[in-house]
């Protein structure tokens, strides 16, 4: 900034007359130009200092950070706009919220089953209601996520579209927060019902009873799976490959923690006993899921074998009607050709001398008939329900027993398959199969980040029985949302002095 230090004076006339007048004036006053130098310099210096002080005061007032203090005559300071979170970051946040909410519901459902076995349906009904309300919120969040992945809503203009996408992601996070709120609100009353701190003995008896039943059942399921391998191709049993071994792994983990829970209870370490019991219950629940999957697959294969002949006849009848109406605007000839090829392939499998996959054959029949507009009634409706239910169950149980590694994409497709199963079973198979494939990919990519732990602990972390937050596998989750599912975590001082080891 340049400060003008000149002293303002009245305008004077130029020329010799002016010069003479000035000289005469100086002589009359007894002064000269040299006598005026020092006063002028002093006045100029004072002006410069005053201007510099004004500039500094103005700058200080404009950059003042003290809230609510504004200097007179100085405009208020406007804070800069906060940075806008990039869409990819919001997408990751929404995906993480979906995974956490889904895990909370699955854990709450599993622990609720143990409470119902002990107290009966009537006393646990309020918690079933809370769980169902949370499930509805999560289903809405998954529906938004599915539409988001498909590019909906489509709004003209980049800015408008980005705003709509941000609103959709905010809706997902909000719905997931509501899931957690409902479960968190029910958690204290659920703890009062279970009263594990006071009645550990009874809860242990329920868990040990289920453990013994599953242990005795493992051998029979293993023999059943061997029989399936003998009668069907590998593709027919691929959905349960390794399930018996995984069930055994969960049962070994469960027996370790049941024993530790009893030891901790005897020593008066109640919190440790509760943690071990919850870990054992989670492992027992997953072992039951894995073994039941083998039983249900065997049942589905048997029912599919019986349904294939009448379903094939029904599909051929639909094809004939469609061909008749082709001349009047019915099915295109290319679609009829595809249907003929699919049905012929199934007939060839039935008449061949090699084993075939009944569920895959029935799935081909259902797809061919559905493409021609077959309804959901009769034998074709029963076939669609059987195939859709088998595919949805296989995907759901895989996610349940591997949820420590499965992301939001697979869970979103699974939610869509579950929705379609109630309205259009023939359409449920496709998203269910895609969900299973994506979930398996997630598990392969996830690998084993807990190589330093025991094999059984690694399986428990992969299955979500332990939260996997610590090198030893972390604590087991409990009934509730994000705010309550970690209750009962050991405090560091107790863990350091605790002689009952958590495997």
Inside any domain, residue 284: no
Instruction: Provide the percentage of residues in the chain whose pLDDT is more than 90.
Output: 68
Give dist(CA 407, CA 297) in Å, integer. 25
Put residue 268 in one of left, alpha, beta given phi > 0 → left and psi -120 to 50 → alpha.
left
Count of structural domains, the chain: 2
Inside any domain, residue 199: no
Q: In terms of Cα–Cα distance, which of 393, 391, 319 is closest to 362?
A: 391
Rounded to the nearest 5°, which phi and psi values hold at 247?
-65, -40
Inside any domain, residue 438: no
Report whether 496 contacts 477 (CB < 8 A): no
pLDDT tens for each residue of 9-37:
334 434 433 443 433 344 334 444 333 33
- Contacts (Cβ under 8 Å, ≥6 apart) of 428: 388, 391, 392, 417, 418, 420, 421
pLDDT tens for each residue of 113-146:
999 999 999 999 999 999 999 999 999 999 999 9
**Quick one: 48 and 134 in the same domain?**
no
Inside any domain, residue 179: yes
Return the residue matching tokens 């599909």.
315
Q: CB-hemisphere CA count at 13 Å for 359?
A: 26
Report whether 413 contacts 453 (CB < 8 A): no
Inside any domain, residue 469: no
**Quick one: 104 and 157 in the same domain?**
yes
**Quick one: 34 and 100 in the same domain?**
no
- pLDDT category at 43 given cuts 50, 70, 90 is very low
E-assigned strand segments in 280-357: none
pLDDT tens for each residue of 429-460:
999 999 999 999 999 998 765 544 567 889 99
Task: Name the least confident of 58-62, 74-78, 160-164, 476-480.
Answer: 58-62
Cα 49 off chain centre by: 65
Give dist(CA 237, CA 147) in Å, integer. 33
**Structure token pair of residue 262:** 């009893």
Inside any domain, residue 178: yes
Give dist(CA 88, CA 64) in Å, integer. 36
Residue where one domain finishes, among candidates 194, 218, 235: 194
- pLDDT category at 330 given cuts 50, 70, 90 is low
Q: Is the pLDDT of residue 62 over 90?
A: no
Give dist(CA 416, CA 397) in Å, integer. 15
Q: CB-hemisphere CA count at 13 Å for 416?
A: 22
Axis crossing angle, helix 270-324 with helix 378-401, rounded to the nearest 10: 150
**Structure token pair of residue 379:** 């034998």
Residue where one domain finishes, among candidates 163, 194, 225: 194
Query: In angstroms, what CA-CA distances link 234 with 228, 237, 438?
Result: 9, 6, 20
**Quick one: 105 and 23 in the same domain?**
no
Say what the pLDDT of residue 126 is: 97
Axis crossing angle, helix 243-266 with helix 270-324, rounded to the nearest 10: 160
Inside any domain, residue 40: yes
Q: What is the DSSP letter of 102?
A: H
Report whether 277 contacts 204 (CB < 8 A): yes
**Structure token pair of residue 327:** 């001349």
Say what the pLDDT of residue 40 is: 34
Say what the pLDDT of residue 323 is: 83
Inside any domain, residue 16: yes
Say what the pLDDT of residue 500 is: 37
Reported for 440-445, long-range contacts at CB under 8 A and 24+ positions apart, including other chains, are 440/398, 442/402, 442/405, 442/406, 442/407, 442/409, 442/410, 443/402, 443/405, 443/406, 445/405
Give dist(CA 476, CA 431) in Å, integer. 31
Task: Name the least confident of 45-54, 197-206, 347-356, 441-450.
Answer: 45-54
Residue where one domain finishes, among candidates 177, 194, 211: 194
Say what the pLDDT of residue 32 is: 41
pLDDT tens for each residue of 269-308:
999 999 999 999 999 999 999 999 999 999 999 999 999 9
- As a whole number, mean pLDDT of residues 222-243 equals 96
pLDDT tens for each residue of 203-215:
999 999 999 999 9
Instruction: Provide the percentage of residues in the chain whose pLDDT is more than 70.
Output: 76
Q: Is the pLDDT of residue 219 over 50?
A: yes
- As a whole number, mean pLDDT of residues 32-51 equals 40
Q: What is the dihedral of CA 138, 152, 416, 385, to 10 degrees?
A: 150
Say what the pLDDT of residue 172 is: 98
The model's pTM is 0.80
Residue 13 belongs to domain spanning: 1-55
**Quick one: 100 and 161 in the same domain?**
yes
Q: Is the pLDDT of residue 368 over 80?
A: yes
- pLDDT category at 58 given cuts 50, 70, 90 is very low
């Amino acid at each position: 900034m340049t400060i003008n230090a000149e002293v303002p004076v009245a305008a004077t006339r130029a020329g010799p007359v002016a010069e003479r007048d000035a000289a005469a004036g100086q002589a009359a006053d007894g002064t000269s130009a040299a006598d005026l130098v020092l006063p002028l310099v002093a006045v100029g210096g004072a002006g410069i200092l005053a201007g510099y002080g004004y500039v500094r005061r103005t700058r200080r007032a404009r950059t003042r950070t003290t809230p609510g203090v504004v200097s007179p005559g100085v405009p208020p300071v406007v804070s800069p706009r906060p940075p806008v979170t990039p869409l990819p970051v919001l997408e990751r946040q929404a995906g993480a919220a979906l995974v956490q909410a889904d895990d909370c519901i699955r854990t709450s459902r599993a622990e609720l089953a143990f409470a119902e076995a002990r107290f009966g349906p009537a006393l646990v009904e309020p918690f079933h209601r809370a769980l169902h309300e949370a499930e509805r919120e999560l289903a809405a969040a998954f529906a938004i996520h599915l539409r988001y992945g498909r590019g909906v809503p489509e709004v003209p203009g980049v800015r408008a579209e980005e705003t709509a996408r941000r609103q959709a992601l905010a809706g997902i996070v909000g719905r997931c927060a509501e899931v957690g709120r409902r479960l968190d609100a029910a958690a204290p009353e659920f703890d009062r019902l279970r009263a594990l701190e006071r009645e550990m003995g009874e809860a242990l008896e329920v868990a040990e009873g289920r453990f013994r039943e599953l242990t005795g059942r493992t051998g029979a399921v293993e023999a059943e799976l061997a029989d399936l391998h003998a009668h069907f191709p590998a593709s027919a049993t691929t959905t349960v490959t390794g399930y018996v071994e995984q069930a055994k792994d969960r049962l070994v983990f469960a027996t370790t923690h049941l024993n530790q829970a009893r030891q901790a209870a005897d020593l008066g370490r109640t919190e440790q006993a509760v943690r071990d019991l919850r870990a054992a219950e989670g492992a027992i629940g997953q072992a039951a899921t894995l073994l039941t999957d083998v039983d249900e697959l065997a049942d589905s294969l048997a029912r599919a074998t019986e349904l294939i002949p009448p379903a094939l006849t029904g599909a051929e009848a639909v094809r004939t009607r469609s061909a008749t109406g082709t001349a009047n605007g019915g099915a295109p000839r290319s679609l009829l050709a595809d249907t003929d090829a699919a049905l012929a392939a199934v007939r060839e499998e039935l008449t061949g001398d090699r084993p075939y996959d009944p569920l895959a054959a029935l799935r081909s029949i259902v797809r061919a008939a559905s493409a021609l507009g077959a309804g959901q009634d009769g034998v074709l409706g029963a076939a669609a329900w059987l195939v859709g239910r088998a595919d949805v169950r296989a995907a759901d149980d895989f996610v349940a027993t591997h949820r420590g590694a499965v992301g939001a994409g697979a869970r979103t497709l699974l939610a869509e398959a579950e929705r379609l199963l109630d309205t259009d079973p023939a359409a449920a198979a496709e998203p269910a199969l895609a969900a299973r494939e994506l979930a398996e990919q997630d598990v392969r990519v996830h690998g084993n980040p807990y190589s330093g732990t025991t094999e059984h602990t690694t399986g428990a972390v992969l299955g979500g029985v332990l939260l996997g937050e610590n090198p030893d596998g972390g604590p087991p989750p409990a009934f509730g949302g994000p705010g309550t599912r970690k209750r009962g975590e050991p405090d560091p001082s107790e863990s350091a002095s605790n002689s009952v080891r958590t495997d």
